[in-house]
Amino acid sequence: MALGFGGMGGGMGGAGRGMMRRAGMDGRSTDDEEFGKPFDGKLMRRLLPYLRPYKRQVTIAALLMLVATATSVATPYFLTVAIDDFIAKSDMHGLVLLMLGFVLMQFVNWFATYGQTYSMTYAGQWALYRLSEDVFWHLQVLPIAFFDRNETGRIMSRAQNDISVLQQLLSSGLLSIIASSLTTVGIVFTLLALDWRLALVTLISLPVLFGIIVVWQRYARKSFIRTRAAISIVNASLQENVSGVRIIQSLTREDENRRRFGKVNRQNFTANLEASRVSAIINPLVDLVNAIAIAVVIAVGGSLVLSHDLKVGALVGFALYVNRLFDPIGQVTQQYSTLQRATVAAERVFALLDEPVEVKDRPGAIELPPIEGRVAFEHVRFAYTPEIPVLHDLNLVAEPGQTVALVGETGAGKSTIISLLERFYDVTGGRITVDGHDIREVTLASLRGQMGIVLQEPYLFSGTIVDNIRLGRMQATDDEVREAAEIVGLHDLIARLPEGYNTIVRERGVNLSVGQRQLVSFARALLRRPRILLLDEATANIDSATEARLQRALGELLRGRTAFVIAHRLATVRNADLIVALHHGAIVEQGTHEELIARRGMYYDLYSFGFASATAARVRAGSA
């Protein structure tokens, strides 16, 4: 499925992100269909611990499999005996008894097959439960840098598609491969026991068939890969045309796009047709080899019967066995691709689990005691990738209660400063202290517990509004939640909703306006009672009434806290205690609004050039 989930990265992030993303998790170009070697001992050994807690179920499954295979292989033998020992001797009584035994045996087969499949599936499903849990937990502790490098859609496919491929392997695939092989072995021995001469002649067909399948597989795999590629191009084209339909219509580009879609659609058709030529040939081929084996049984076996070296029933048994000899091979062929895909899937899942957790509590990290909120960046250097430094030797001090406004162009390093303080990343050089504690020496929970963050695009989880506010502090009472909402001016907006605080927020909060979402994230941060507040101011288009609310709420939020604000609004910048102007990862100047205006430096340029010249240009154009 080519449905993408990308394209909605969070609001923060710094320079160099786009460049790193292309490198990806493992450098592979296509994600869905990879074909590797069918078996990798090392990966299997890693998978085994997940099955270990279910040793009992696996053992039961193995034992029952032996029973099931034996009873299944014995079926034609009973018919042989029925013909040679009872029908040929007109022993009706014995025939009935034999058949009763046969039915009883089939009954055993039924339950053995059932029990074997169920216990193996049981073990497999719960093993996958644990594996999913491990993957998910790992995703919780991986550094944010990992999410910069890898698109959401790609990670999703690891955690979902790859695991469900493994499910096929663990719950049915592995079992049926073993069962099929056992069946083949069982049949071969039975044939040898019935008549070794005829068996040897007949069994020549086995390697022949095997050779045919191996050669065929090679072609089939190639054409299969081609069809997968073709359909994913069709889907990508379709997806783009659906998402961009408004642009397409407004630029009247329908005809050109229809032509292009028609082309990829036809290429897919052709690829599938070629593939079907390959796939249509295999059944007739297998049937032909089967027929040749039957012909050998009739001609050679018949001669043996005539020379009284073989009984008729045994001949019939041979004919019936030959038919069944080919089934397991077909199944193994089918499972072969499952096995291949599972190997690749396992490889990718374990690669994910092996991603190092860079940001974590140091051994002996202490709880950060309640803080005043003095933040100091001391000679901080940072790079997302070693080649591209983002911050060079940054020094910055925020006294308790100060509001620091960060200004500068996109990529100047504003977001990076906030991310480092939150320890989404660790500094490459220098250190950051809070009340004198290096933030790497304290536990993540105690650090983040005293900080509040408001992202540019407020992220809401599905659940109720009250759930989303309470995210700030889980122990908060309803009254405290309401109080926080009142302070930021959200309360009366919520009261107007039919369901009030219990209004369900749909995925990512699409049923609330941007302004409302922003206010929710303010209330959330406020409820946390953080000593340090990190805020990436929203630039989105907000109507004037909400805007006024936001400004008031912002004032409440900043009062009495140390705050780092990536400022987009003039009012915010002007009211800041300290304005820090950044350029290419270095501080160019800092001071209050008045000081910096008076200095006529970069801030002044940014300020007047950005707004005033644009206005002038507009005026010129308007009068032209």
Partner 1 sequence: MRAAPLHSHVDVRVCRRVRCEHMRTVLRIFSYLRYNRRATVLAYLALAGAALFNIITPLVIKQAIDFGLAHDSRSFLVLAGVLVVAVALVQGVFEFFQSYLGQYLSQTVALRLRDDLYEAVQRQSFAFHDRSETGQLMSRATVDVEQVRAFIQLGLLQLTYAAVLFAITVVVAVRINWQMGLIFLAVMPLIGLRAFVVSRSLRSLWVRVQGAQGAFTSVLQENLVGARVVRAFTREQEELDKFNVSNRIVRVDSLEANRLAAFNQPLMTFLLNAATAIIVIYGGYAVMHHNLTLGGLVAFLEYRTNLTGPVRTIGFLLNLWTRATAGGQRIFEILDAESEVHERPGAVPLAGVVGHVRFEHVSFGYNRERPVLRAIEIDAPPGALVALLGPSGSGKSTITQLLPRFYDVSEGRITIDGHDIRDVTLESLRHAVGIVLQDPFLFSATIRDNIAYGAPHATAEQIEAVARAARLHDFIASLPDGYETWVGERGITLSGGQRQRVAIARTLLLDPKVLILDDATSSVDMETEYLIQQALAELLRSRTTFVIAQRLRTVRDADQILVLKDGRIVERGRHEELLENEGPYREIYDLELRDQEELSQVAARA
Binders of partner 1 among residues 110 to 129 (CB under 8 A) are 110-111, 113-114, 117-118, 121-122, 125-126, 128-129
Longest dimension (CA), the chain: 119
Could you count the other beta carbons within 10 Å of the beta carbon of residue 153?
Answer: 14
Q: Does 358 bind partner 1 (CB under 8 A)?
A: no
The binder of partner 1 chosen from 155, 165, 434, 554 (CB under 8 A): 155
Q: Does 208 bind partner 1 (CB under 8 A)?
A: no
Q: Does 152 bind partner 1 (CB under 8 A)?
A: yes
Binders of partner 1 among residues 72 to 111 (CB under 8 A) are 75, 79, 82-83, 86-87, 90, 92, 95-96, 99-100, 102-103, 106-107, 109-111
Q: Does 606 bind partner 1 (CB under 8 A)?
A: yes
| For partner 1, the closer CB: 389 or 530 | 530
| For partner 1, the closer CB: 45 or 140 | 140
Q: Does 571 bind partner 1 (CB under 8 A)?
A: yes
Sheet harboring 437-438: ordered strands across?
Answer: 388-398, 375-385, 429-434, 437-438
- Neighbouring residues of 197: CB distance < 8 A, sequence distance ≥ 6: 304, 309
DSSP state of 569: S
The binder of partner 1 chosen from 296, 494, 582, 587 (CB under 8 A): 296
Residue entry with tokens 């206010």: 519
CB 187 within 8 A of CB 324: yes
| For partner 1, the closer CB: 404 or 527 | 527
Residue 379: CB minimum distance to partner 1, A: 25
The binder of partner 1 chosen from 459, 464, 503, 584 (CB under 8 A): 459
CA distance 173 to 154: 25
CB 352 within 8 A of CB 162: no
Q: Does 4 bind partner 1 (CB under 8 A)?
A: yes
| For partner 1, the closer CB: 276 or 477 | 276
β-bridge mates for residue 532, sequence order: 451, 562
Binders of partner 1 among residues 382 to 401 (CB under 8 A) are none
The binder of partner 1 chosen from 262, 500, 555, 560 (CB under 8 A): 262
CA distance 66 to 408: 72
Q: Which residues of 456-492 are buried (b: 16+ CB within 10 A; e: fewer)?
A: bbbebeeebbbbbbbbbbeebeeebbbebbebbbbbe
Residue 79: CB minimum distance to partner 1, A: 7
CB 593 within 8 A of CB 421: no
Identity (one letter) of the amino acid at 435? Answer: D
Phi, then psi, of 383 in degrees rounded to 5 = -145, 135
Quick one: tokens of 445? 């929970």
Binders of partner 1 among residues 572 to 591 (CB under 8 A) are none
| For partner 1, the closer CB: 255 or 354 | 255
Could you count the other beta carbons within 10 Å of the beta carbon of residue 222?
Answer: 13
The binder of partner 1 chosen from 44, 477, 548, 559 (CB under 8 A): 548
CA distance 533 to 459: 17
| For partner 1, the closer CB: 399 or 604 | 604
- Computed over its alpha carbons, how large is the radius of gyration of the chain? 35
Residue 616, Ramachandran bin (φ over 0: left; ψ between -120 and 50: alpha; else beta): alpha
Long-range CB contacts for residues 292-298, cutoff 8 Å, separation at least 24: 292/205, 293/202, 293/205, 293/322, 293/325, 294/319, 294/322, 294/323, 296/201, 296/202, 296/205, 297/198, 297/202, 297/322
The binder of partner 1 chosen from 290, 337, 428, 433 (CB under 8 A): 290
Residue 357: CB minimum distance to partner 1, A: 12
The binder of partner 1 chosen from 44, 185, 193, 298 (CB under 8 A): 298
| For partner 1, the closer CB: 107 or 189 | 107
| For partner 1, the closer CB: 254 or 395 | 254
Residue 570: CB minimum distance to partner 1, A: 6
Q: Does 242 bind partner 1 (CB under 8 A)?
A: yes
Q: Does 456 bind partner 1 (CB under 8 A)?
A: yes
Q: Which part of the chain contacts partner 1 (CB under 8 A), choosing from 43-51, 366-374, 392-400, 406-414?
A: 406-414
DSSP state of 508: G
Binders of partner 1 among residues 128 to 147 (CB under 8 A) are 128-129, 132-133, 136-137, 139-141, 144, 147
Binders of partner 1 among residues 210 to 239 (CB under 8 A) are 234-236, 238-239
Q: Does 294 bind partner 1 (CB under 8 A)?
A: yes
The binder of partner 1 chosen from 26, 32, 33, 287 (CB under 8 A): 287
CA distance 456 to 536: 5
Q: Does 498 bind partner 1 (CB under 8 A)?
A: no
| For partner 1, the closer CB: 393 or 595 | 595
Q: Does 475 bind partner 1 (CB under 8 A)?
A: no
Q: Does 250 bind partner 1 (CB under 8 A)?
A: yes
Q: Does 364 bind partner 1 (CB under 8 A)?
A: no
Question: Which 3-state string (H, E, C) describes 219-248?
Answer: HHHHHHHHHHHHHHHHHHHHHHHHHCHHHH
Residue 471: CB minimum distance to partner 1, A: 5
Q: Which part of the chain contacts partner 1 (CB under 8 A), choosing from 181-189, 381-389, 405-413, 489-497?
A: 405-413
**How many chain residues bind partner 1 (CB under 8 A)?**
173
Quick one: tokens of 129? 């439960």
Binders of partner 1 among residues 306 to 345 (CB under 8 A) are 306, 312, 315-316, 319-320, 323
| For partner 1, the closer CB: 319 or 353 | 319
Q: Which part of the chain contacts partner 1 (CB under 8 A), choosing from 218-226, 267-275, 346-354, 482-490?
A: 267-275
The binder of partner 1 chosen from 188, 281, 376, 588 (CB under 8 A): 281
Residue entry with tokens 């059932």: 114
Binders of partner 1 among residues 178 to 207 (CB under 8 A) are none
Long-range CB contacts for residues 8-12, cutoff 8 Å, separation at least 24: 8/152, 8/508, 9/147, 9/148, 9/152, 10/455, 10/457, 10/459, 11/455, 11/456, 11/457, 11/536, 12/415, 12/418, 12/419, 12/424, 12/455, 12/456, 12/536
Q: Does 53 bind partner 1 (CB under 8 A)?
A: no
Q: Does 370 bind partner 1 (CB under 8 A)?
A: no
